[in-house]
Structure 1
Amino acid sequence: MPESHRQERCRKMEKQELRCGYTTGTCAAVAAKAAAVMLFTGRELQHMNLMMPKGRSADLPLFHVDIKRSEASCAVKKDAGDDPDVTHQAMVFASVQYTDGKKERQAQGIYQLKGQEGKGPLYLKAGEGIGWVTKPGLSCPPGMPAINPVPRDMIFGGVEEARREAGFQGSLTITIWMPEGKSLAEKTFNSRLGIQGGLSILGTTGIVKPMSEDALIATIQLELHIKAVAGMKQVILVPGNYGEAFIRETLGLSLKDGVTCSNFIREALKTAGKEGFRRILFAGHIGKLIKVAGGVPNTHSQYGDRRMEILWDCTAPFSVEKEGIKHKILTANTMEEAAGILKDHGILEPVMGEVMNRIQKHMTLWSEGAEVEVVTFSAMYGILGMSRGAMELIRLFSRPGAEGIEQEV
């Protein structure tokens, strides 16, 4: 994100002026309704209005309109507002065509809305760039396109409204696709969630609210839920990119066994405990985890930066006769610098031992009783601390095909 855009976004956030956008579900439903209307009327439209959940309406412009005798299609450009959504400005296409339903009834992976009052069914299928669900635990069953329930209702509802107004009784097939979907999906969590080949058509209200903490926490909770449904009893948690690189390059583990929890340490551990994970390996940079040693549940800087104060509290018992060390620690700019100070004074190892004890204590409490093992590191000094049972858990995850699933003994 360019610095000027980031600064502007920060100013808007401070003023609480972030602009909302529309979900992919809304875009797909608007495009589908418009395609249906144009199929019935033969007239090209410039925009289409659709009623969303909770009584709000969306009136969106149309692109790439194409009307044929038995099929019509168009696209809606996704507007995510001020949310940093990877699908912002992507085209969501929909086509509607007449059908007798024979091919659809024989095919796999097609959603169906049974017709009422003598009307034929409506069929909904996915085209290019829409992902397919491969794991249980999501809103869509395995083997079906990742078009979530609320967007499905919106799509079917919009097309049914057009069909009713046109007085048409027969069946229709709706196809949703996103040409950029496959490439954009690589920038999302879809593959981790078990959605392959493209994006999901999402939304519960039809509106995209700029990314909030609730949305990020919900993503973490969903990832953990999916792994729990798959039978995993052990899981790896890492805060972000540093942790991901560390478990891959230093510990030789794979994030297929893990979940990235960002700054939401307590929320992730709490969810893991509720989902039934018995053992958790938490690997993170000391810059974040030192805050956990002080009982800080969310490590984002907006909640304060007490890193050096917490480190000094852990250092004090080992700093007898270490002249000037308190001032050095409290005025250090980074944890790398602070670790160097401890190393120079010959107390890095015992201090990190105390840090690890405190981190493990808080994490175990937040997980409500799961066995939590912790590894912390720095870029300059490598592994700084490791709880007593961490190596055993690392070996468990390193077994071929282990995937965190406990074996019956």
Structure 2
Amino acid sequence: MATTSAFSGTGLTLPVWVAAAARAAALVLGGSAAPSSVDLRIPSEQGLRRVEVHTASLLDGGQKALAISICDPGAGLDLTRGLEIWVLVCRSSSGEGLQIHAGEGVGRLEDDGSLCISGFARELLELNLSDLLPVLGGLDVEVVLPRGRELALRTSNSAFGVVEGLALIGTQAEVQTSASPDQLQLARDRLRELTAQTGFAGRLTLVIGENGLDLADQLGLSDQQPLLKSGNWIGPLLVAAAESGVRQLLVFGYHGKLIKLAGGIFHTHHHLADARLEVLAALAVQQGLSLESIRALLQTASIEQAWCWLQAHDLEQAMGLWMAVAEAVEGRSEAYLKRYGCTGMRVGAALFNRDRQLRWTGPEGRKMLRYCSVQLHPVASDSDQGPSLR
């Protein structure tokens, strides 16, 4: 019989709180009393985790059940803290299987309107509702985040094509804050593992975030050299990589994140520093853009909007400016390394946009991508001006 871990009241990711509310609602729909907590099975973990539920009740004369949990991501800065999660569960009209629906405040993919949910989050729901299906038959599960649409405006979701609310993403049960020292230590441990492997050739790709990790894998970078996910601790990991024998490091990430490195900001969490448009404007001055253009860039709401505005007005200037950003990332990174006595590692930069298209590199990044047989994506409106790495 599975054992239950000590009560897990804090430090859990959003998918866990969703699964807890979903299980509580399904239990009530099946005739159980409203629970104050539920025992959850976590993929790839032994035993059960007990997770608190705020409330649960039958609705519509017993035809539906609603349960509410309240997200507690633990210590650290997290916008989901105190977020109410409502999950409505009813028997499926088809009578079989499990259907998960995005209600109000839950993120959808802009391309097709489908629920934005990670494999881990989906598996978590399936794992914790499957034992109730033989009794209840098929279940329709609707997740509602009453403040999700509002909170999503404070994230970069829209930069990756997620609209209308918060995405149900996450790859594990426990929160690992990208700005925490623990996350840095995990990355350092993983770096040591990678560089100690037999056949390590001194080349490494440092990816920024889950989107960078996924895109780098799709482009085949992982077939050519190891990938290391950095989170926001980019500066210390640059030094650690140089000290671990890395000779060529490709920094690969979203342009709205990596532009901070071009301004000398090497811990990139938005709670600590954010001068992205100001960095862009400074580089625009160096590139000779007009005062009117620079003012227009500073008035945009995001880095992506700044790129789109300049692209529409002068594609050649836009490409030149963003190549300058990538080159500045490389230059600032090497200057950072020299400050700590590390001179034997070359740093290349490769930036992708909100459409997950690899668009810009610095000189070193271009060499490294050519080695990996990866090409830049041409600009759709004028593909002849898109740089080629052939």
Q: For this structure pair, what is the TM-score category when the shorter chain's length is used for normalisation?
A: 0.5 to 0.7
Q: Is 1:160 equivalent to 2:150 in the alignment?
A: no
Mapped to 2, the partners of 1:181 and 1:126 lie a distance apart of: 11
Given that 1:36 and 1:163 are in contact with CA atoms closer than 8 Å, whether structure 2 keeps it comes out as: no
Mapped to 2, the partners of 1:365 and 1:203 lie a distance apart of: 26
Question: Which residue in the other structure is 1:57 paired with?
Answer: 48
Q: Deviations over 1:234-281 (max 9, x none)?
A: 98441252233331586346622899xxxxxxxxxxxxxxxxxx9673
Measured after TM superposition, the shift of residue 202 of structure 1 is 2.1
Question: Which residue in the other structure is 1:282 paired with?
Answer: 326
Mapped to 2, the partners of 1:42 and 1:76 lie a distance apart of: 17
Given that 2:276 and 2:303 are in contact with CA atoms closer than 8 Å, whether structure 1 keeps it comes out as: no
Q: Deviations over 1:162-214 (max 9, x none)?
A: 234xx33x322101111111121122221112111111112222221343246
DSSP 3-state at the match of 1:238: helix
Mapped to 2, the partners of 1:284 and 1:193 lie a distance apart of: 24
| TM-score, L = length of structure 2 | 0.54
Q: Is 1:189 equivalent to 2:156 in the alignment?
A: yes
Q: Is 1:242 equivalent to 2:275 in the alignment?
A: yes
Measured after TM superposition, the shift of residue 223 of structure 1 is 4.3
Mapped to 2, the partners of 1:50 and 1:99 lie a distance apart of: 22
2:113 to 140, 143, 163: 143
Mapped to 2, the partners of 1:156 and 1:48 lie a distance apart of: 15
Report the residue type matching 1:23 in the other structure.
T
Question: Which residue in the other structure is 1:36 paired with?
Answer: 26
Measured after TM superposition, the shift of residue 26 of structure 1 is 0.8
| TM-score, L = length of structure 1 | 0.52
Q: Is 1:85 equivalent to 2:78 in the alignment?
A: yes
Structure 1 residues 89 and 293: alpha-carbon distance in aligned structure 2, compared to 1, 3 A threshold: same
Mapped to 2, the partners of 1:404 and 1:50 lie a distance apart of: 54
Given that 1:234 and 1:280 are in contact with CA atoms closer than 8 Å, whether structure 2 keeps it comes out as: no
Structure 1 residues 26 and 198: alpha-carbon distance in aligned structure 2, compared to 1, 3 A threshold: same
Given that 1:146 and 1:195 are in contact with CA atoms closer than 8 Å, whether structure 2 keeps it comes out as: yes
Structure 1 residues 146 and 229: alpha-carbon distance in aligned structure 2, compared to 1, 3 A threshold: same
Structure 1 residues 200 and 365: alpha-carbon distance in aligned structure 2, compared to 1, 3 A threshold: closer
Measured after TM superposition, the shift of residue 28 of structure 1 is 0.8
Alignment of 1:333-348 (within 5 A): none
Mapped to 2, the partners of 1:247 and 1:402 lie a distance apart of: 23
Report the residue type matching 1:43 in the other structure.
A
DSSP 3-state at the match of 1:55: coil
Mapped to 1, the partners of 2:383 and 2:67 lie a distance apart of: 43
DSSP 3-state at the match of 2:120: helix
Question: Which residue in the other structure is 1:293 paired with?
Answer: 335
CA RMSD of aligned residues (A): 4.6
Structure 1 stretch 181-190 or stretch 21-30: which is displaced more? 181-190
Measured after TM superposition, the shift of residue 152 of structure 1 is 1.0
Q: Deviations over 1:280-319 (max 9, x none)?
A: 733769xx965622635xxxxxxxx65xx99xxxxxxxxx
Mapped to 1, the partners of 2:52 and 2:150 lie a distance apart of: 24
DSSP 3-state at the match of 2:141: strand
Measured after TM superposition, the shift of residue 372 of structure 1 is 1.0
Question: Which residue in the other structure is 1:76 paired with?
Answer: 69
DSSP 3-state at the match of 2:80: coil
2:100 to 87, 104, 124: 124
Mapped to 2, the partners of 1:51 and 1:281 lie a distance apart of: 46
Mapped to 2, the partners of 1:243 and 1:249 lie a distance apart of: 10
Structure 1 residues 143 and 365: alpha-carbon distance in aligned structure 2, compared to 1, 3 A threshold: closer
Question: Which residue in the other structure is 1:7 paired with?
Answer: none
Which gives a bigger RCO, structure 1 or 2 (Cα 8 Å, sep 6+)? 1
Q: Is 1:99 equivalent to 2:92 in the alignment?
A: yes
Structure 1 residues 63 and 283: alpha-carbon distance in aligned structure 2, compared to 1, 3 A threshold: farther
1:222 to 177, 199, 211: 211
Mapped to 2, the partners of 1:36 and 1:199 lie a distance apart of: 23
Mapped to 2, the partners of 1:189 and 1:403 lie a distance apart of: 27
Mapped to 2, the partners of 1:242 and 1:30 lie a distance apart of: 39
Given that 2:280 and 2:325 are in contact with CA atoms closer than 8 Å, whether structure 1 keeps it comes out as: no
Structure 1 residues 152 and 294: alpha-carbon distance in aligned structure 2, compared to 1, 3 A threshold: closer
Given that 2:35 and 2:53 are in contact with CA atoms closer than 8 Å, whether structure 1 keeps it comes out as: yes
Structure 1 residues 291 and 125: alpha-carbon distance in aligned structure 2, compared to 1, 3 A threshold: closer
Question: Which residue in the other structure is 2:355 paired with?
Answer: none
Report the residue type matching 1:244 in the other structure.
L
Q: Which runs of 5+ in 2 are unaligned?
A: 1-8, 188-205, 220-251, 261-267, 269-273, 285-293, 308-321, 352-359, 365-378
